[in-house]
Amino acid sequence: MPTFSVERTVPLPAEEAWRRLTDWPRHAGAVPLTRIRVLTPGPTREGTRFVARSGVGPLVLDDIMEVTVWRPPADGACGLCRLEKRGRVILGWAEIEVLAAPGDRSRVVWREELRVRFLPSAVDPALESASRRLFGRAADHLLERP
């Protein structure tokens, strides 16, 4: 069960970095072969559920997530979103933290614990490495494009 984090400092105000990172449908454009479907009416809040379906044809995995903490950045306070993975195969959690930084910049930390049922722990190092690269690229994509 690998746990990893991705950190970035970006030239965006915290509120804009937060908006880009928590716009769930936009994640589909940042993660290859993935579609996002929000299962609950907006706006996002605690209890919001969505599914990221990744794959092609019959080879797909659903990553079902529920927002369990929703605290947008405000008045200099750090923003925190925690997602619990509720699928049959993909389990764990993710946290997105956004903090205002000097010069109208933001510090972003994306932490994730990823468990894939039926995979032996021997593959954890490879899963962690691949996940760090995938989610690092996804964060970059989301933060670079409005």
Number of domains in the chain: 1
- Give the neighbor-by-neighbor strand order of the sheet with 90-101: 3-10, 105-116, 90-101, 79-86, 59-71, 49-56, 34-38
- Domain of residue 101 covers 3-144
CATH number, residue 120: 3.30.530.20
Separation CA 117–CA 91 (nearest Å): 7
Question: What's 42's DSSP letter?
Answer: S
pTM above 0.85, yes or no: yes
Q: pLDDT per residue over 81-136, tens digit each?
A: 999 999 999 999 999 999 999 999 999 999 999 988 888 989 899 989 999 999 99
Phi, psi of 23 (to 5 degrees): -90, 90
